[in-house]
Chains A and B, each alone.
Chain A
């Protein structure tokens, strides 16, 4: 009887100790916010273009966490969809055409002669990449431009063009080799026979 009581007593004490540790850890290492939203947000291209129907990438990240489809981000394209699918362990689906199509990387360029200095594009730019003042010519800081398109529509004189960022010798990258070609599959004589005899 004493043994049983002792065992129960020991277990009770242990559970209290561990409960205390867990309780302390819960308070001490409490994580603020929803980490999955931040993880999703980190994968989005941060163009803040709103093509997904949300006012920025973070809100879309929140929406994805709440169950929205992962294929509403044209600037990210298939690569982002794939990354999101990997993160969320869901199937990668093709980009939803309703929200736009994946385009090459572009930047906004202001035709400076035509700019009237209305500051409308400055207000539209989500990343403060347009420089200028009222009645002064504006210009785009190309390095900061995310190519989101949002400045094009507000311009009253239509002096903003979206220009493709071409490949330069600094940004060029090697092509992926074509891989195992069809002809090399026919190197082995028996492989050739199966295809060749019927023709």
Chain B
């Protein structure tokens, strides 16, 4: 009744099991070492953040480091004692590098802090249980050390069909989970029940290899005793049936697709060690501070499993198992398939350390030299992930990362089955690991360079904007002085202004150079204004009340800016006639006819100038219409305009929200105004040419006439538009 159907997976190998050696002695409990070294990064994700200082006294179970982000975990003191240092120590890592560790000197009392079991776990919110598990420092104890609460959060998002407890322990030599299941069967089942309460899966299956009959019997007995509906699936011994994806395939017949997680398929996998840790946390209030680890290998006189405090240096355990240093050739952390050689025995046990293999030379001879691939295809037969190891090897050797990725290199679980069967002794997995890290490095470098590019471009844009602003301010100041000098001349009679005087000509020439720039500025300002008005319109339509006032303010500001720029432009245009004077000056010396033509040209420019001024007037009118409450002030401005001829700044007015039609009309008016301005500019240009090249006078004159025609048309259209705009506003 309690046995589940078992499927199979592709590939796999049958290495010598070597599991009996470490099962001869009962579970050992080594003495306290002289110091415990607790790395801050015992799990996948961000390292924990220490919350103790050097010299602090802690009790067994006290938090010494806290979660440092979403994917992080807590760390607790495995025994009572004093923190002697927080420093870099060599840790269990294939690189042999050091990392930050908290060093605890035990006081020997092994005194517990106050334990607070979560007795009411069945009645409280599930999120609270998850938070509690996080506080207890529970991480996946199968290998990767993935923080359990994060895995559960992911699993809770979907309804689960299967909850699989991984008890396969397929790697040779390792018997830690086997021992755990024999010693703590009740705790295991209780832990599974807590998980099941949290995730409510349809089926709960324990997947266990058939080489652990004692554990299977014990579990079946407890299940029968508790009348639980947990199923036990006994799978045939084959490496790597304990791989998460392989076990899922064995128990459900479903393959986890590339790039997906089991949770996406409604499956959650947990290691037996994690289940027991959850039991201890919930029922006893004990955080994760110890684990069962296998000590085995021919160099040990008494290989066995030990329940060991986290942070215990490996040399302490080797001494406990009576290591014979003369026989010890290689010290391997983990199993023979996926483990790695340790450089130093001073490294500590962490939450994921399941085996210490002290191997003799006979047991683990040096690897045979790599030979050329003979394309036998045995690696493909062995690969449990159904990859093409041979192809991956070519791509890895030639560093064709894209192709390697295309051949799903990242689905490789680095189980070592391909290397095991390779008749040419090619260390395939090492190639894959190297390529994987190269690809990861390249990706990271890419992300970084993208970020750098983004920041560089943002900085450049900012600098350009600042420079433009400065330039605009400088121009504004220059224009202000130019306008002042041009002002009296404008009021003077036409004949007067024709008279070539060096005084007016000097400041005028640079001013004309700036005219173009100013016109561009005006055009930019106007287009910005248009955009803002459109935004305002959108906001009004969608009734974004907060946006409206903000946009209103921006529109007003922009209007001010445009008005200011137009004023500057007008000022420049006023001084423009003097440009014609320079050639006139020269021409006057040569011939009277030339002078006469120049005079005519200047007159035309003056006319154009007046039109440009008229162009401003209706705009002021429009604003006056808009501002009912500012009527008087607008009148004053109007008077000032007519008396001085200068353009009044319309900025002061808080514009009332305009209707859609009005804005549309305003847009048209602006377009026409730009057309008028362009026509004016063209006339100016032509006039200048006329002055410079009297011999082409007739042709240019004709062009000027044409341009004037266009100007008049545009002006007429503009006037109509402005009138209709005014009338709309009045109607409103």
19 A-B contacts (beta carbon < 8 Å): A44-B449, A46-B450, A47-B452, A57-B453, A127-B455, A128-B459, A146-B452, A167-B97, A169-B93, A170-B41, A172-B94, A172-B95, A172-B437, A173-B434, A173-B440, A173-B441, A174-B434, A176-B430, A177-B431
Q: Is residue B7 contacting chain A, with contact meaning CB distance below 8 A?
A: no
For residue B95, give the distance in angstroms from its CB to the closest CB of chain A.
4
A45 close to B445 (CB less than 8 A): yes
Q: How far is the CA of A176 from the CA of B398 in the complex (A)?
A: 11
* A23 shortest CB reach to chain B, Å: 29
Identify which of residues 427-478 in chain B touch chain A, using a CB-to-CB cut-off of 8 Å.
427, 430-431, 433-434, 436-438, 440-441, 445, 448-453, 455-456, 458-460
Contact B427 A128 (CB under 8 A): no
Cα-based distance from A46 to B454 in the complex (angstroms): 9
Known contacts: A169-B91, A172-B93. The answer to whether A181 contacts B441 by CB under 8 A is: no
Q: Is the CB of B371 within 8 A of A184?
A: yes
> In the docked arrangement, what's the CA distance between A47 and B456, Å?
9
Q: Is B99 an interface residue (CB 8 A)?
A: yes
Contact status B451-A144, CB under 8 Å: yes
Indicate if the CB atoms of A180 and B371 lie closer than 8 Å: yes
**Cβ-based interface call for A27 (8 A):** no
Question: Closest chain B residue to A181 by CB distance?
Answer: B369
Residue of B nearest to A41 (CB): B453
A98 nearest CB across to chain B (Å): 24
B434 touches A167 (CB 8 A): no
Contact B455 A144 (CB under 8 A): yes
* Interchain CB contact (< 8 A) of A169 among B95, B370, B448: B95
Considering the chains assembled together, what is the distance between the CA atoms of A51 and B445 in angstroms?
19
A190 contacts B by Cβ under 8 Å: no
Give bound CA distance, A84 to B371, whole Å. 33
Cβ B456 vs Cβ A127 within 8 A: yes
Contact residue among A167, A177, A184 (Cβ-Cβ distance under 8 Å from B95): A167
CB pair A126 B95 closer than 8 Å:
no
Q: Are B453 and A46 in contact (CB under 8 A)?
A: yes
B99 A126 Cβ-Cβ under 8 A: no
Map CB proximity to A onto B77-109 as digits: 1 under 8 Å, 0 otherwise.
Answer: 000000000000001011101010000000000
Q: Is A187 an interface residue (CB 8 A)?
A: yes
Q: At the interface, yes or no: A48 with Cβ under 8 Å from chain B?
A: yes
Contacts between the two chains (Cβ within 8 Å), count:
85
Interface residues on A, range: 20 to 34
Cross-chain contact A169 with B97 (CB below 8 angstroms): yes
Chain A residue, CB-CB nearest to B457: A58
In the complex the two chains form, what is the Cα distance from A187 to B97 in whole Å? 36
Q: Cβ of B93: which chain A residues have Cβ within 8 Å of it?
A: 169, 172
CB distance from A18 to the nearest CB of B (A): 36
The complex places the Cα of A174 from the Cα of B460 at a distance, in Å, of: 39
Is B591 an interface residue when CB atoms closer than 8 A count as contact?
no
Rounded to whole Å, the gap between the CB of B185 and the closest CB of chain A is 36
CB contact under 8 A between A127 and B459, given known A167-B97, A173-B434, A175-B434: yes
Which residues of chain A come closer than 8 Å to B460, judged between CB atoms?
A: 56
Contact bitstring A132-167, B, C-beta under 8 A = 1, else 0: 000000000000101000000000000000000001
Q: Which residue from chain B places its CB closest to the CB of A174 in the assembled complex?
A: B433
- Are B437 and A48 in contact, with the CB atoms below 8 A? no
A131 to chain B, nearest CB (A): 13
Q: Which of A44, A57, A127 has the most CB of B within 10 A?
A: A127
CA distance A146 to B459 in the complex (A): 15
Q: A residues within 8 A CB of B397?
A: 179
A183 within 8 A of B: yes
Smallest beta-carbon distance A20→chain B, Å: 32
Which residues on the A side are within 8 Å of B436 (C-beta)? 174
Interface residue? B545 (CB, 8 A): no
Interface string of B398-425 (1 = CB under 8 A from A): 0000000000000000000000000000
Q: Judging by beta carbons under 8 Å apart, are A169 and B369 in contact?
A: no
| Whole-angstrom distance between the Cβ of B171 and the nearest chain A Cβ | 20
Q: Report the bound CA distance from A175 to B438 in whole Å.
A: 10
CB distance from A148 to the nearest CB of B (A): 9
| Interchain CB contact under 8 A, A174 and B94 | yes
| A26 partner residues in chain B, CB cutoff 8 A | none
Closest-CB distance, B725 to chain A (whole angstroms): 36
Q: Which of chain A's residues have a CB closer than 8 A to the CB of B97?
A: 167-169, 172
- How far in angstroms is the closest Cβ of chain B from A110? 18
Given contacts A144-B455, A169-B97, A176-B431, 18 further A-B contacts (CB under 8 A): A46-B452, A57-B456, A126-B459, A127-B455, A127-B459, A128-B455, A144-B452, A167-B97, A172-B437, A173-B434, A174-B434, A174-B436, A175-B434, A176-B430, A177-B434, A180-B371, A184-B369, A184-B370
The smallest beta-carbon distance between A116 and chain B, in angstroms, is 23
Name which of B445, B455, B459 has the most chain A CB atoms within 10 A of its CB.
B455
Judge if B372 is at the interface, Cβ distance under 8 Å.
Answer: yes
Complex: chain A residue closest to B441, CB-CB: A173
**Separation of A128 and B438 alpha carbons in the complex (Å):** 28
Contact of B370 among A56, A170, A172, A179 (CB under 8 A): A179
Interface centre among A47, A48, A177 (most CB of B within 10 A): A177
Selected from B41, B99, B370, B371, the residue in CB contact (under 8 A) with A178 is B370
Alpha-carbon distance A129/B458, docked complex (angstroms): 12
Question: Nearest Cβ distance between residue A141 and chain B, in whole angstroms?
Answer: 10
Residue of B nearest to A75 (CB): B449
- Most central of A47, A126, A146, A174 by chain B CB within 10 Å: A174
B441: chain A residues at CB < 8 Å are 171, 173
Q: Which residues of B contact A183 (CB under 8 A)?
A: 369
Query: Are B455 and A180 touching (Cβ within 8 A)?
Result: no
Q: How far is the CB of A166 from chain B (nearest CB, A)?
A: 9
Closest beta carbon of chain B to A17's beta carbon, Å: 37
Q: How far is the CA of A174 from the CA of B448 in the complex (A)?
A: 21
Q: Taking CB as reference atom, which chain B residue is nearest A148?
A: B452
- Residues on the A chain within 8 Å of B458, using CB: 128
Complex alpha-carbon distance, A129 and B459, angstroms:
11
What chain A residues lie within 8 Å of B440 (beta carbons)? 173
Q: Which of B99, B370, B456, B459 contacts A46 (CB 8 A)?
A: B456
Closest 9 CB pairs of A and B: A173-B437, A46-B449, A184-B369, A174-B433, A172-B95, A127-B455, A46-B452, A46-B453, A174-B434
CA of A48 to CA of B458, assembled, Å: 13
Chain B residues whose CB sits within 8 angstroms of the CB of A170 once the complex forms: 41
Contacts of B433 in A (CB 8 A): 174
Q: Distance in Å from the Cβ of B110 to the closest Cβ of chain A? A: 30
Nearest A residue (CB) for B453: A46
Query: Once bound together, how far apart are the Cα atoms of A126 and B433, in whole Å?
Result: 35
A129, B369: Cα distance in complex, Å = 48
CB nearest neighbor in A for B369: A184
Interface string of B39-51 (1 = CB under 8 A from A): 0010000000000
Chain B residues with Cβ below 8 Å from A128 are 455, 458-459
